[in-house]
Each structure stands twice: as structure tokens, then as C-alpha cells.
Structure 1
Amino acid sequence: MEPTDSLPTQADTVIVGAGIVGCNIAYQLTELGREDVVVVDQGPMPTTGGSSTHAPGIMFQTAEPKVLSQFADYSRRLYSDLEGADGHQAYNETGGIEVARSEERMDFLQRRVEYAKAWGIEDPQLLSPEEVTEHLPLVDADQIKGGYYSPTDGQVSGVVACDALAREAMERGAKFVPHTRTEDVETENGSVQAVITENGSIECNEVVVATNIWARQLGEKLDVHLPVTPVEHQYTMTESLDELADSAVDITDHPLFENYENVSGEKAKRLLVGPDRPILRDQDNAMYYRNHGDSYGIGSYNHDPIVPDPQDLGGNDPDGEQGSVHEFTDYHMNNATHPDRPDKAPRQASDELLPATAGKELEHKYNGMFAESPNGLPVMGPVQEYDGLWTAAAIWVTHAGGAGKALAEWMEHGVPRLLSGPIDLAHCDVNRFDEHEGSWDFARDIGGEEYRIVYNIMHPKWVWTETQRDIRRTPMYHTHKKYDAELWAEAGWEEPHWFDSNADLLAEYGDRIPDREGWEAKYWSPIEGAEALNVRNNVGLHDMTSFNKMEVIGSDAGEFVQYLCTNDMDIDVGDVKYTLMCNEGGGVRADITVTRTDEDRYLLLTTGREVGNNHVAWVREQSPDDVVVNDVTSSLAAMVCTGPNARKVLSKVTDVDLSDDAFPFFTSQQFFVKNIPVTALRVSYAGELGWEFYTPSEYGERLWEHIMEAGEEYGIRPYGNGALNSLRIEKGFRLWGKDLHTEHNPYEAGLGWAVDLETDFIGKEAVAAAADGDNIDHKVACLTLDDEDAVVLDNKPVLDGDETIGYLHSAEYGYTEGACVAYTYLPPEYAEPGTSVEILYEGERYDATVREEPLVS
């Protein structure tokens, strides 16, 4: 089967872009049984001229985000099963080595081992300098402290893989149409109707935008502002090296060579040659390496970010110019321009690590482009603005196989899955973005910053410090500044993590807050512990404006809310109920608090930060025409007053009876706090006596002041997210996106009590199938470290001997409990209280014990 020049006039699904992502999606959709799939691309095939054509194809599987390692692991397995046009396996399993030039980087590589164990990457190893050179003799052992070795890492040629994937997709009925630029997508009444190309239109039901660096351009035509940023990095290939003479290969007889040469020119003679030794990464100098026969390829992120405007990107013209390649900038190779690496030029760093390259000519060199997103993760899924419009962008060759599989399953069955089961894509979802992220100013700056930090040692709690800050301010922003809040950017919101004005609380509580040092001490203050203990003992006030809030309105709103929710939602006006929303596969899509505020009006409260927008999009997608779903996150200020003295404080500013009889738990009332109108809910994520307050944003600051003034005599203090995370984990409250997400059903998550199988809801069939517990492979488990002074961070492997049995989803120190608390999912036999396990953290093993939850009642 071959690509066709004949443009179909109709198709069920059109994929725009035949690079590694588009080809993977076509392969997966046709494997799931779809036949009416058309793939169009502006360039020739399989060498379309996009990033897949110029990419060297190295695949390091281990990443800090679990989803990237899952994608990479699947990609490796898929590419290993593909047969290239030359009859050989498409994937070169050479192994991959990351070296350390500093002790700090060696600590980082130990974390790589721990991530690999947590995510299931095979046989991760730390190597001594001498062991590194056993695999890579050209590396100067004197330049390094050691290395991280992943034996199943390797390389795949994007062109070889695209060709193999496309051939199999075409054999199953897909059509590939080259030399066809997409100009627009026609829509009507909020639904996709057709793809408009330079050669005609294709009527269709679904469109997947898989155009990577060009994704933003097509999105703008639809008023869908995709924050996908093209960035440039450098790639060069040396002249032939005597030390690699035995690896010399003549690739000109490869079946794809002529096609490749037509697009890439002479460098195709190097690019098409796979490596015969481990791929190499020197992250301290933002460099990576692989051999191309008897030449070494040198990739460099070690320069100042170069971010071209998407509107200035060309296409792939008939003369063979690649739109994804810009002219090589010698200055960036020969001078130290990276903001975080000002002391050594990339060429110097390269020649030190690989002395064989010193003084050698760089025969082929170019600036190749790839796409970044604001959190460095893919941008994929159904676009909420249009039925039938899907995206798959900012995805590398390494992750394209897994991303293609997950997206195809999502499109066909409604739930993203890999072979191992459901995969949670909350942090990859195209609908996660806030409005400001669609601006080019934001996307340009953050895309450049993502490029800058791609090889930096980044702490999991790190947040942007300068770039694109101070965008969204809660009504209490100036008050927070007055109290010297440590503000972190969360989905653009400036949110307090702790308040330096509370440092005096350490005199009272400091002896209950263990000292920290090392990795776990970064982005932490003992004030977090003091704030948490003050809430437990006195009273605190927390700004929760950034939590996503939705109003569901209409005569059928009650019926719709029931359809969304797993619990029995037949509630009276003023009632509040905790419930779950599940997807079609029974995975927990969100946990929410639902308040019936009127006969035909409900308030839905859910997780904040970037994942909360996914929930808003999900609810809107499910809603019938006669129900209105309003996102009221920005229009309502929100705060919670909580702690043993909360009732005393609030009784000073309202005449409402706040007693248990008059204002029971999980009820709401509307009244005034002095002169401020509020909707008050008797709930608290901190787990103490408390009330949440919602008021129009313009009243928020004054409401905060009223409560703070009333609470002065009772020891009220503002508290930040650091304290809240500690408070909630002690109470066993789940945090969606961390210890609760779509990879778990309600029974695995220990939330079966929030399910009523007598009602009908999305995913009921799958949830009911899990209700008897027979098919549960993992159950939620609460752990505490046996050493009361020890602290670990999340995403670390849980061990039984040398066997990994789970990983930490959340971990926070519980200051009331007096121990570090963690939540994980373990095989049922390990999830029983009293079971002893170990946690691997920073190279040390920590004893931990499974406990009954909640720890604090």
C-alpha cells in the first residue's frame, strides 16, 4: 500500500499531520477497527519535513511525570514490534546512559532510579565512571561522577517508524494523502463538518490536529487558543571519527533513503543510520549524543531559548526546505548563552566529555524545532469548543506511541487506555488551560522557560518565580501581601503557601515540627506546620477562591446532576453532598461537593489548579441542551474558616444560629456576614469544625477582613496550601489528580460509600462490576513512616524487599499525627493495617506501616 494523490471527499476521521503522532493515531484507530481514516500532510510521506523527519529519535524512557514514562514504555514495545522498510526491527534497543558531572546530578540520577522503579521501567541502574566507559569507551571517565543506565532505552528513526506505522494502517483501510496543506476546519452549530485543504474539502465527523509546531496556527482559525510553542534546539553530526571506523555504514541502499534525501539532503546519509551503542545524555550541560555509524551526533539545549512566532513558520515547500528546520546558529554552539549555564560553551562541554570529537568538523548542523506546552506535557484530547475536534500536539517521538494508543482508545471507547489499563491524562488534557494561557505572550514566555529547564534539576514543588507571574489575583491578594504570604503560581492564581507573618507561632509549636534538610527541605517552611497546628487547636482562615466552581441551572438540572454523580443526589434545597463523577470506564473523573441552592440550581465544587478546568469541560460536554453550566470560579470569592474556635469567631459577625442542630454538617444557608452576602457550607477540607463561604468577588476582601477582625481574640491566623495539604491527608481526604484519578475506581479508592448503585450515572456498569471487589488488583492504603522525624516526598516506590508493589501518590508530614503520612495503592494483601513495607527515597529505605484511616478523627 502506498500514499495516494487522490483526496477523498468524505471520511469518518481526518488526521491532520502525518508525522510520528499522526501515524501512531492512524495505526491505533485502524487496529481498533476503524477503516474510514484519512491522514493529510503538507509534505511528502513518510518524510513530511516536520519534527519527526529531523529528530535523531533517541528514547530515554524515565521521566518524573508518570504519564511520560508510561507513554515511552508503550512506545518502546510498539516500535520493537514494527518492521522497517528494510526488513529490520524499527527500534534499536541500545540502552541509554545519563551521566553526572556533579554530586548534585548524582543525587538526581538516584531519583531517576526511584522514578523508574515506581513507574515500572525495567532494570534501572546507577553506574560508576568506569562502568559508564565499559558501555561507552569514548566518554572521558575523569569528567564524570557516574551515570544512570536504563538497558531498554534506545532509538527509533521517526521516518522509519512513520513509514512502518502508515503501511500497517493503510493495509487496514486508512488513506494517506501527501502534499496537501490543511487551511481550515469547517464547523457548524459547534460541531466539526469538514477539513478544508488546498486541494479540496473532506467532509468528516472527527478531526485530529496532530501538527505539532503548527498546531497553534490551525487552532487560532477556530478561536481555540492552543498554548503550543515552537522552540529551536541544535543538532550537529561530526565528520567520520577514526574511533568509530568499525561502525561505518553505507545507508544509501535503504528503501527510504531517496525519499529522505529529497527532504533532508546529504544529512540523510547520517540521520538514517541507527546507533550501535548506548545513547548518551549530559544534562549538566544540556547535551545529548548518539552515533550515526562512524559519526557522533551532538544535540544541544545548551543555549538561550529561541522561540519563533508560529505565524512566521513556513511550510515544507516543493524545493525540499523543511518548515521545522532553521539555519544553524554557530554562535549558540561556540558561546555560553544558556541562562543557567553561563560558564561553558556547548562545544567545549562536548569535547571534554567525548575527546574524540575535539577539533572535528561538524559536517551537518541545523536548528530543529519541536513544541513545548506550559507544563511540558502533551496537549491532547477532545477540544471542548467543538464536538469532533481532537488535538495531539507537543508530543515527542519517545512518547508518540503511547500517546497515540491512549488517544485512539479515548476516541473509540471514551476512556484513554494503554495495555496495562486506564491511564490518567488530566495533566495532558487540552482543556486544562486557563484563558490567559492562550495568549501568545504567555505561551512564548512559558514555552521558552520550559525549554530552559528541560535538563535542569527541578524540584517537584518548583513554581515559576518571575516569568508570567501575578496574572490572576484573588480578591484577598493585597491582604495576603500584607501578611507576607509566600505566593506560588497555581494555574495563574497567586496562592499563599504559607504566611511569614505566622513565624511567631513557631514559639508555641516549633517542638512538634521536625527539622528538614536536603531535597525535602526545599520549597518548605516550618511555618506550614505551625499553621496546621493552629487550625487544629484554634482557628484559621484559608483562601480557596482558585478551587473550580460550577453552577448547574435548569428545569432538568436535578436529573442531570444525578446522571453525573455516583451518589444518590435526591437532596433538598440547602443540602450538601459529597459524591464522585466517573468516566465510562468507571474511573474517578472527579470528587465533588454538590449543594442544592434552589429548586433548579446546584453549586458544584471541585479541585482547583489546572486539573479543575478538565472537570468543567467534562460537565459541559455531558450537559443536555436545556441545562446551563456556568463556570463561576472567577465570579465567586471563596474561603473557609475552620478550627475548634470557628463557631465562636463567626458568631461575632452573624446573627445566624450556627449550632449543630440549627446548622448541621453537610448543609448550607444563605445569610449575611455583617454586610456581606454569603452562601455558607458546613464543610471543611481541613477536617475540623468549619464553614466555607462563597460571595461575589467584589465582596471577598471585605468578608476576609470581617472574619479576621472577629477572630483576633481567638487566635485566628491565615493559612496556606502547605498547611491545608497536611491537614487533609491526616483526615484521609483525597486530593484529585494525586491520590485519586481515573486509573482508580471508587472501590479501589476506598470511596465505595459515595456510590449508590440504585441510581443511574455515567460509568455505572463498570463501577457495578467492581463493586464485589473480586477484580480489584490494588487498594488504597494509608502509610506512616516508622521514624517520626523522617519526611519523604511523593512518587517514590513502595517496596517489599526488592519488589516494587506500588508508589506514593501523596506524602505530607502530619503535624497532629506526629509522622509523615503517605497514600498509595497496593495489592490487597499488602493494604491491610499493620502491614510493614519500605519506601525508597533519596537512596535510603524507610520503614513504613499501613494504618487504619483516618489518622485524625
Structure 2
Amino acid sequence: MSDRNTLPSDAGTVIVGAGIVGCNLAYQLTELGRDDVVVVDQGPMPTTGGSSTHAPGIMFQTAEPKVLSKFANYSRQLYSELEGRDGQQAYKEVGGIEVARTEERMDFLQRRVEHATAWGLEDPQLLTPEEVTDHLPLVDSDRILGGYYSPTDGQASGVVACDALARRAMDGGAEFVPHTRTEDIELDEDGDVQAVVTENGTVACDEVVVATNIWARQLGEKLDVHLPVAPVEHQYTMTESLDELADNAQDVTDHPLFEGYENVSGEKAKRLLANPDRPILRDQDNAMYYRTHGDSYGIGSYNHEPVVPDPDDLGGNDPDGNQASVHDFSERFMNEATHPDRPDKAPRTASDELIPATKDKELEFKYNGMFAESPNGLPIMGPVQGTAGLWVASAIWITHAGGAAKALAEWMETGMPKLPDGPIDLAHCDVNRFDAHEGSWDFTRDIGGEEYRIVYNIVHPKWVWEGKQRDIRRTPMYHAHERRDAELWASAGWEEPQWFESNADLVERYEDRIPDRDGWEAKYWSPIEAAEHLHVREHVGLHDMTAFNKMEVVGPDADAFVQRLCTNDMDLDVGQVRYTLMCNEAGGVRADITVTRTDDDRYLLLTTGREVGNNHVAWVREQAPEGVVVNDVTSSLAAMVCTGPDARKVLSKVADADLSDDAFPYFTSQQFYVKNVPVTALRVSYAGELGWELYTPSEYGETLWEHVMEAGAEYDIRPYGNGALDSLRIEKGFRLWGEDLHTEHNPYEAGLGFAVDLDTDFVGKEAVAAAAAGDNVRHEVACLTLDDPEAAILADRPVLDPETDEAIGYVHSAEYGYSVGACVAYTYLPPEFAEPGTDVEILYEGEKYAATVEEEPLI
């Protein structure tokens, strides 16, 4: 790659950042036919000085989030096709092993097998200690209980991969311009991208992609786009030559990239370019990882207190060749126990125990390298709401960059993220998923540090933050919840009840219908959730649903816009309510929503989604034409639902309206007063029982809550939390977007064809019509119940064909159905397996659970 390219005056797409993300993206865009792509970077190429230059390039593919494993698997395949400047394959498929020193970690490794099986990774295995040392002879088998082995894991040098990808991109017409720092992005009078301003001139362009990882926040701030990207430091060292690795000694000084690498990284380039000769290794109990560099062992450590530099202090490479993403090594972090969760053993001690050959050996090269973290540990990708032409690709590692760039390029070109095996849902990676508070540096810094802290911890899927950055958003009923001893969990910053300790007396009342629960599935669960569920089914409950996303669509063209947005017939009278879907251009379900026409030119759109609900708001705003205003009214309206067989009796005591079936039919809305509080009421309920959703301006929320609770006292009304709601909705077959409903499936695959009217025009109609005709239906939704009525499982585990033991799907969501007396799971299966009555198995925590496909809804 030449350092002599000059800056062009215009381009279709400018990518800021020529690290592993930018190079991958440039290649993918040129593969899709674009020949007007320009990549600029402040450093030399391919050794830019960012994280891609100092990273050891280890690639463990298995992760609990499906999106990360899918990205990693595609990256592995792509890097395996790349040829480095030395004529060798860029990817070294040496395998990857994670070891366990505790029984708890062994359970974790079993989950690794199950997640890998669910996501389609090849041949995941559990190993005995002796089998680990068959692959890794220098590991002390007496220190471990076993290991997890993924044979297609491996290593890819960021520099080698960047160079190979860039050369391919240039063959497709892309231009790369080094030594060119981006200073600003110019917008036109409409707020759309117009040009990229660099230290060496301005490039007019239609699109710009911020692919600068640890520097992403600063560039966003110039546009008032507050990206929650935190640079964090971790340690990497390389030992002196070890006699035990002498057979793998390598001289890389004749490598075509060595001179440039040495100019940026110094002498350690001699090690970083040397290939591994055995599986990469993780000791997550001690937050350490390993790979060989020729005859040296590389030791990476997350086993120290979090260090989050201020982005404004990062700067760039200095004139002496010091790398911008590298800070001085902290000796204390290696030789003392500073990690808040691992206070008993220094990293160097733990490392020498595991690999005794390194004991007393000099750590020849040592540095603190930086990478980027996001608030949920996932990439930050996609088009930025409100700034046409501005895209982000940040908080992405070498392991995931190939897949992330492929998905993003498809998104930019076709409007739909996808990988070669089909669409991939990026709801939890979308740049628009964040709430306003997450853009603050206080939040970004603290949560970036917390994400660093838990990188190698065993984290339960229901675990929530404690301590830092909690109690940020309070619903109007917050103090009422505290008075009833609510167990509050944070969701999108909202403090939401999961259950109420004040309902503990209900457990004894319903105990014969609440199975005992232990093990992994019992963590972060309370039998009070079950009791609240049963009480709502049989009596009445009140649930705070303020955090559900709420949008108001207003304007003279609102009716036409809502029809264009929605798959159902939206010719509604004022006061009518309709369930419908929004789809993307490829027919994937973008959201399921409840739409209420509240006036001639005004609609209320209600949706779930929790942490990713803001994606829906961004989508609706992106689609809106002139003459239509989309207001996010989530925070301005308090919301609650009174539901259960006695709901009408309760509300009739305080509502100045007739709530009978004739006067207030299902799926209609009215405005009335609850005592002295103005309310917009919808006769719908996500719990699946008789009920009314009640909306009022936020300042009235707590008063309304207490009015309803007081009116319901004689009917033993109880507040209930999200735990009960999740089990109530799954029994009724109501989907939860982001879990058992997302863009990877069309309405017919999701069993929601009833919410589609093909006589109307809507976004994605052509693809949805093809699905209606039977095309593009690869999987169908299936409701499963476990045959063992005492068993409970969690999501993201493989569904198996009991005849062949092959994975045919995975559990999208699972909750115990206390009214049906069985654990209920939703999945998507090949059509021949989705027929009711079909027997399948679910692999969970090392055991196979028999399950049966059922007709839905169950009750």
C-alpha cells in the first residue's frame, strides 16, 4: 500500500479510519460495485497506529450474543481467503482453547458448547485437562479442570489483514490516503453530509463512515452526535525466547511489511509478525489470554483495574514513531492484584502457574494497548438518525470486523444488513439504540470501565448493572414502587420493577403451582414473579409500562404516512386501535406496534423493545415525509396497564366512563377521567387478559397509580413487574421484539400474517408478498413446551432433531408458563419441524430436554 496517494476532491463515500474496520468496509463496498470509495487515516498505512496495529489478533469465535459469533465466523472465512504480502494465508487456523480452574467456569464452558452449537460454529468440544495439554503441552494440567475447544478459532495479524483487504479494495477502485487527519464533517443547510474536512483539504461526498474506534467519540462531538465509545487500556506482553518453543523460532525481518511495522511499533514488530504454532488460549478465571509469537509466548491481561483515558487526550502518533493507541506499561498491574473482582492473585502469578515455562522469564516487550468499548459490549453501527449520509462503525474488534463490515456494506447498499447466509438483525448494535444520558462522558466513561471489568467474568443473561450509573431515569411511579419494596432493574436507564417484595405473601397462596428452581436458571429469579403472574391471571394487577416506547405522529399527511409505514389496513376511525407490523425493504419485521388514531391528523404508536426501542423511533423518523412530525413521547406520558378478570370492576369505581363490552369494545380507545386525572385508555393488554392501558401526562402518573391501587384494594389488586409480564405474554404467544421477533424473519415466518393486508402499500411489500406466496420462508415460528413440567430453561440454547442430534434452531425466548404448568420456549424451525405435535430436544446446561411443538396461543 502506497503512502503517496493524494486526496481527491470528491467521492461517493469517505471512510475515516484505515484500521481493520475501515479496510474491511472499503473491500466490501467495492465488492458490491462501488468504485468511488476513499479511505483516509491520520497514520501511515497499513500500520496506522490504531488498535489494529498493536493487537495480537487472536480470534475466539464463540460468544453468547449470536451477532458476535456470526460476525466472527464470517471474519474467519474471509481472512482465510486473504493472502499476505509474504504469500502466506492471512488467517492462522490453529484452534482456540478456553480453560477452567473452577467448577463454575466448567459450567460456563458447557454453555460455550451450547452457544457455539446454536450459532452454527464447527465442532465445539469440551476437553479434559489431559486433552488440553495434548494441544498445549506447556499448560500445567494440574491447574485446570478442563477446557473448551473450538478447532476453527485462530489468529489474524491486523496489519497483514488490513494490507490484504486494502489491496483488494484498491483493485476494486477504492483510494487510500494516509497521513491525513480528519478535522471535521461539513453538513449542508438540511443537516445532511456534504464533505469531509481534513488537514490536507476537503473531500465533497455523499456519505461518511466514522470507523475510528477509540477516536470515534471526538469526531461525533463535532456534529453533536454523542457516541458512547470509551477507549480502555489492557496489557499485552511478550516473553523472551523460550527453549520450549525453539522449534518455532521465526525471523520476520524480511517480511514485506516489517519495515513499516517497525517504524510504528518498534522492535516488538519482530514478535507481532511472527505466527502462532499452537492453539490460542484463554484463562478467563484470571482474565488472561495467550498466543505464541514464534519462540515467544504473548500474554494478554484484562486482570487489572479499569483504565479509561479521556478521548481528548489520545492525540495521534508522535514524530518519534510512538503509537497513538499504546500507553506505557503499568508494572503494578502485572505484579499486583488490582482487578476489583480478582483481589487475591497477581496476573503474573496466575500466568506462571498456568504456563510454568514462562516463570522467571523476562517480559521482553510490554505495553498498555487501547481498544473501544460500548455500553453493552457490542458494536456501534449504522446510519445516524437525523444526519443523512452519516454512518458509524465503531467498538469493533479484529475478530468481528469482517462480519460487521459485510453487514454494514449491505446495509448501506441495499437498506438491509445481511451476511451470505441471510439477513442479520443488528438491533442491539444499532447506533440509534442509545438514550440521551448514554451520550454523556460521565456515563460512557463509567460504563466503559464496567464493561472492561466484566469482559471475562461469568455474567448471567439477566444480570444488571449495580452501583455506577444507576437510578438515572425514574418513572413517575418510582417512589410508589419503592414504598412497595420493588426489586428494581435498569433497562435503557429506567428503573423498572422486576417483582415486588410486598407481594411475598402471594407465594404461599400459589406455592403448589410454582415449581422449585435452582442452578443457572434460578439466578435473578424470584418465586414472587410466579405468584404475581398467577394473581393477574385470576384476579387483577397493575403494571408500570412507562418505559415502553411511545411515538406520536402528527400532520395533515399522517394518515397516508402511517399506512405506508404499516403492513395492516390502517384506515382507522378516531378511537380505533390496530395491531400491525413495520417491515424493512427486505420484508423483515422492523417492529410490531399498536397504533391508535387519536384525532383526524394524529396517531399514537406504541411498541416494546426495551433497550433497543429507540431503534423504532429512529426508523419511523427516517421514513417520515415533509408535513409529518414524529414526536417521541415516551418520557412525557406515564403509562400503566390494569389487567386481569377483575380489571373492569376496579376501573369502573374511579373512571367516569362506561367500560362495558358494548360501550368500550376490544381494540378501541377513549379519553376520560380517573377521578381527577385525565387519561387516554386503550382496551388492550400485553398480558393477554381483560385490561386497559392508561396514558396520562407524566406529572399525573403517581396520582393515577394510587387512584387505581386504592380502587382495587377490595379486589386484592397487586402491582406486578416485568418478570410476571414476560411469562404472561409468552403464554399468550405475544412476541417481544428483539427476542422472538426481529428483522431476520418476515411476518409469515413469525406467524403474524394476520397483521398484513396486501391490498395496501407499505415499506417492504414486494418481499412480504413473496413470502405470502411461499417464497423466502426458510423457517417458521414454533411454540415449544418442555415435557418435564418441573423444568425451566433460558434462551439462546440449541434446538435439536432428536433423530440426528443436529441443531435445527435455537431458543429465542423462554419463560415458565405458570398458568399452563410448563416452560414455554419460542424458536424458529424448518417448516417440517414446526408442525404441532413434533418432538424436539433442547440442549441446556449439558442436558437434553424433550419438548413438543404446540398450537399457539397456549391459553
Equivalent residue, structure 2, for 1:44 = 44
- Inter-partner Cα distance in structure 1 for 2:609 and 2:305: 33
Deviations 1:721-771 (A, max 9, x none): 000000000000000000000000000000001001110100011111111
Letter of the 1:538 partner, please give it: H
Equivalent residue, structure 1, for 2:55 = 55
Equivalent residue, structure 1, for 2:94 = 94
Deviations 1:783-820 (A, max 9, x none): 00000000000101000132000000000000000000
Equivalent residue, structure 2, for 1:281 = 282
Q: Contact conserved, 2:379 with 2:396, CA < 8 A, in 1? A: yes
- Inter-partner Cα distance in structure 1 for 2:737 and 2:775: 25
Equivalent residue, structure 1, for 2:856 = 853
Equivalent residue, structure 2, for 1:34 = 34
Counterpart secondary structure, 2:857: coil
Letter of the 2:848 partner, please give it: R
Instruction: Using the TM superposition, give the Cα deviation of residue 82 of structure 1 relative to its aligned residue in structure 2, in angstroms.
Output: 0.7
Instruction: Using the TM superposition, give the Cα deviation of residue 479 of structure 1 relative to its aligned residue in structure 2, in angstroms.
Output: 0.2
Q: Does 1:134 align with 2:134?
A: yes
Counterpart secondary structure, 2:768: helix
Equivalent residue, structure 2, for 1:383 = 384
Counterpart secondary structure, 2:411: helix
Instruction: Using the TM superposition, give the Cα deviation of residue 608 of structure 1 relative to its aligned residue in structure 2, in angstroms.
Output: 4.1
Letter of the 1:71 partner, please give it: F
Q: Contact conserved, 1:2 with 1:170, CA < 8 A, in 2? A: no
- Give me the TM-score of the superposition, normalised by structure 1: 1.00
- Inter-partner Cα distance in structure 2 for 1:553 and 1:198: 44
Letter of the 1:841 partner, please give it: Y
- Inter-partner Cα distance in structure 2 for 1:228 and 1:625: 33
- Inter-partner Cα distance in structure 2 for 1:206 and 1:484: 50
> Alignment partner for residue 811 of structure 1, among 810, 814, 817?
814
Q: Does 1:218 align with 2:216?
A: no
Equivalent residue, structure 2, for 1:762 = 763
Deviations 1:400-440 (A, max 9, x none): 00000000000000000000100000000000000000000
Equivalent residue, structure 1, for 2:366 = 365
Equivalent residue, structure 2, for 1:181 = 181
Deviations 1:613-638 (A, max 9, x none): 00000000110111000000000000
Equivalent residue, structure 1, for 2:601 = 600
Deviations 1:492-527 (A, max 9, x none): 000000000000001210110001011000000000
Deviations 1:14-64 (A, max 9, x none): 000000000000000000000000000000000000000000000000000
Which stretch of structure 1 is more off in the superposition, 360-369 or 775-784? 775-784
Counterpart secondary structure, 2:24: helix
Equivalent residue, structure 2, for 1:672 = 673
Equivalent residue, structure 2, for 1:823 = 826
Q: Contact conserved, 2:609 with 2:738, CA < 8 A, in 1? A: no
Equivalent residue, structure 2, for 1:73 = 73
Letter of the 1:106 partner, please give it: M
Letter of the 1:16 partner, please give it: V
Letter of the 1:522 partner, please give it: K
- Inter-partner Cα distance in structure 2 for 1:523 and 1:260: 48
- Inter-partner Cα distance in structure 1 for 2:99 and 2:38: 43
- Inter-partner Cα distance in structure 2 for 1:578 and 1:377: 31
- Inter-partner Cα distance in structure 1 for 2:481 and 2:834: 41
Instruction: Using the TM superposition, give the Cα deviation of residue 162 of structure 1 relative to its aligned residue in structure 2, in angstroms.
Output: 0.1
- Inter-partner Cα distance in structure 1 for 2:80 and 2:364: 31
Deviations 1:505-558 (A, max 9, x none): 012101100010110000000000000000000000000000000000000000
**Unmatched 5+ stretches in structure 2:** none
- Inter-partner Cα distance in structure 1 for 2:291 and 2:277: 9
Equivalent residue, structure 1, for 2:21 = 21
Letter of the 1:93 partner, please give it: E
**Unmatched 5+ stretches in structure 1:** none
Instruction: Using the TM superposition, give the Cα deviation of residue 316 of structure 1 relative to its aligned residue in structure 2, in angstroms.
Output: 1.4
Instruction: Using the TM superposition, give the Cα deviation of residue 2 of structure 1 relative to its aligned residue in structure 2, in angstroms.
Output: 3.6
Equivalent residue, structure 2, for 1:693 = 694
Counterpart secondary structure, 2:850: strand
Counterpart secondary structure, 2:282: strand
Which stretch of structure 1 is more off in the superposition, 774-783 or 709-718? 774-783
Equivalent residue, structure 1, for 2:476 = 475
Q: Does 1:11 align with 2:14?
A: no
- Inter-partner Cα distance in structure 2 for 1:517 and 1:777: 36
Letter of the 2:45 partner, please give it: M
Equivalent residue, structure 2, for 1:735 = 736
Q: Does 1:332 align with 2:299?
A: no
Instruction: Using the TM superposition, give the Cα deviation of residue 180 of structure 1 relative to its aligned residue in structure 2, in angstroms.
Output: 0.1
- Inter-partner Cα distance in structure 2 for 1:155 and 1:775: 36
Instruction: Using the TM superposition, give the Cα deviation of residue 317 of structure 1 relative to its aligned residue in structure 2, in angstroms.
Output: 2.5
Instruction: Using the TM superposition, give the Cα deviation of residue 775 of structure 1 relative to its aligned residue in structure 2, in angstroms.
Output: 3.2
Counterpart secondary structure, 1:695: strand
- Inter-partner Cα distance in structure 1 for 2:237 and 2:776: 52
Equivalent residue runs for 1:89-488 within 5 Å = 89-188=89-188, 189-488=190-489
Q: Contact conserved, 1:4 with 1:176, CA < 8 A, in 2? A: no
Instruction: Using the TM superposition, give the Cα deviation of residue 572 of structure 1 relative to its aligned residue in structure 2, in angstroms.
Output: 0.5
Counterpart secondary structure, 1:205: strand
Counterpart secondary structure, 2:832: coil
Equivalent residue runs for 1:488-499 within 5 Å = 488-499=489-500
- Inter-partner Cα distance in structure 2 for 1:157 and 1:46: 11
Q: Does 1:841 align with 2:844?
A: yes
- Inter-partner Cα distance in structure 2 for 1:214 and 1:810: 36
Instruction: Using the TM superposition, give the Cα deviation of residue 466 of structure 1 relative to its aligned residue in structure 2, in angstroms.
Output: 1.1
- Inter-partner Cα distance in structure 2 for 1:273 and 1:485: 56
Letter of the 2:747 partner, please give it: P
Counterpart secondary structure, 1:795: coil
Instruction: Using the TM superposition, give the Cα deviation of residue 3 of structure 1 relative to its aligned residue in structure 2, in angstroms.
Output: 5.0
- Inter-partner Cα distance in structure 1 for 2:795 and 2:674: 40
Q: Contact conserved, 2:239 with 2:364, CA < 8 A, in 1? A: yes
- Inter-partner Cα distance in structure 2 for 1:190 and 1:450: 33
Counterpart secondary structure, 2:630: strand
Letter of the 1:468 partner, please give it: Q
Q: Contact conserved, 2:98 with 2:282, CA < 8 A, in 1? A: yes
Counterpart secondary structure, 1:381: strand
Equivalent residue, structure 2, for 1:647 = 648
Instruction: Using the TM superposition, give the Cα deviation of residue 321 of structure 1 relative to its aligned residue in structure 2, in angstroms.
Output: 1.4
Instruction: Using the TM superposition, give the Cα deviation of residue 92 of structure 1 relative to its aligned residue in structure 2, in angstroms.
Output: 0.2
- Give me the TM-score of the superposition, normalised by structure 2: 0.99
Instruction: Using the TM superposition, give the Cα deviation of residue 847 of structure 1 relative to its aligned residue in structure 2, in angstroms.
Output: 0.4
- Inter-partner Cα distance in structure 2 for 1:457 and 1:727: 29
Instruction: Using the TM superposition, give the Cα deviation of residue 772 of structure 1 relative to its aligned residue in structure 2, in angstroms.
Output: 1.8
Letter of the 1:100 partner, please give it: A
Equivalent residue runs for 1:579-618 within 5 Å = 579-618=580-619
Q: Contact conserved, 1:3 with 1:175, CA < 8 A, in 2? A: no
Equivalent residue, structure 2, for 1:772 = 773
- Inter-partner Cα distance in structure 2 for 1:607 and 1:506: 28
Letter of the 1:488 partner, please give it: W
Q: Contact conserved, 1:2 with 1:167, CA < 8 A, in 2? A: no
Instruction: Using the TM superposition, give the Cα deviation of residue 11 of structure 1 relative to its aligned residue in structure 2, in angstroms.
Output: 0.3
- Inter-partner Cα distance in structure 1 for 2:753 and 2:252: 59
Q: Contact conserved, 2:240 with 2:364, CA < 8 A, in 1? A: yes
Counterpart secondary structure, 1:204: strand
Q: Contact conserved, 2:2 with 2:45, CA < 8 A, in 1? A: no
Instruction: Using the TM superposition, give the Cα deviation of residue 774 of structure 1 relative to its aligned residue in structure 2, in angstroms.
Output: 4.1
- Inter-partner Cα distance in structure 2 for 1:655 and 1:328: 70
